[in-house]
Amino acid sequence: DAGITQSPRHKVTETGTPVTLRCHQTENHRYMYWYRQDPGHGLRLIHYSYGVKDTDKGEVSDGYSVSRSKTEDFLLTLESATSSQTSVYFCAISGPTGAAYSGANVLTFGAGSRLTVL
Amino acid sequence: AQRVTQPEKLLSVFKGAPVELKCNYSYSGSPELFWYVQYSRQRLQLLLRHISRESIKGFTADLNKGETSFHLKKPFAQEEDSAMYYCALRRNAGNMLTFGGGTRLMVKP
């Protein structure tokens, strides 16, 4: 479905433990993103990547790190999970930019990963 | 800084009634606006974008730069329109979207 998968889909962990979420795409898209979805806040960008080993921070990056060692995989790591990081995490991908491309700037989302930190 | 505001967290209408989901933005440049929708148990997906000037599933949205708004409208709501709707803005540089807080639309029979 849309060539983007997230794992795990559900995870319960304890405060202070490390957690890694994986996003895998088969579309060969350049851009990949991690968002978190919280009631009342909508979706907020955590980190994004514009190529292999090229990443940058979003608006809520504190407490999170990312890595992209190959085009198809984008990992989100919580080094020491806190209860405030309980959320639904969405990965998204987007292809080439530019008005000439009909799919330019359109994000395709994964199914989401629900993380609960106790 | 850019910002997207959706003032209504919940909008409830009866089937067949008109619906308007409000979206206001703040951005000094030339924005690109989108509406995304998330139906129950489905992925977030693009509904429409302002540069396409199209109607999808009966929904339309017009970018009003004077009022900095991009409201989503449908003349006759259907039960299957019940979903979470997000307005999003892309700056004219870069490829990131800023999302509003979302509006849950409930269409009652």
Q: Is the pLDDT of residue B2 over 60?
A: yes
Q: pLDDT (tens digit, 9 = 90+) per residue, A9-38?
A: 999 999 999 999 999 999 888 899 999 999
Cβ-contact A49, A65 below 8 angstroms: no
A45–B98 CB contact, under 8 Å:
yes
* CB-based contact, B9 to chain A, within 8 Å: yes
Q: Is the pLDDT of residue A42 over 70?
A: yes
Query: What mean pLDDT is reported for chain B?
Result: 91
Q: What is the pLDDT of residue A60?
A: 95
Q: pLDDT (tens digit, 9 = 90+) per residue, B16-60?
A: 999 999 999 998 777 889 999 999 989 999 999 887 778 889 999
Q: Is the pLDDT of residue A105 over 80?
A: no
Q: What is the pLDDT of residue A98?
A: 52
* Candidates A29, A105, A113, partner chain B, best to mutate (most B CBs within 10 A): A105
Q: Is the pLDDT of residue A103 over 70?
A: no
Q: What is the pLDDT of residue B27?
A: 86
Q: What is the pLDDT of residue A95?
A: 75
Chain B residues in contact with A58 by the CB 8 A cut-off are: 96
- A109 closest CB neighbour out of B9, B43, B95: B43
Q: pLDDT (tens digit, 9 = 90+) per residue, A49-75?
A: 988 999 999 989 999 999 999 999 999
Q: What is the pLDDT of residue A1?
A: 55
Chain A residues in contact with B51 by the CB 8 A cut-off are: 99
B86–A42 CB contact, under 8 Å:
yes
Q: CA nearest A41: which of B60, B78, B101?
A: B101
- A97 closest CB neighbour out of B86, B95, B100: B95
B3 SS3 class:
strand
Rounded to whole angstroms, the Cα distance separating A56 from A96 reads 18
CA distance readout (Å), A107 to A14, B4, B17, B68, B80: 32, 17, 30, 23, 23
Q: What is the pLDDT of residue A33?
A: 94
Q: What is the pLDDT of residue B41?
A: 87
* CB-based contact, B102 to chain A, within 8 Å: yes
> How much is the average pLDDT of A84-108?
77
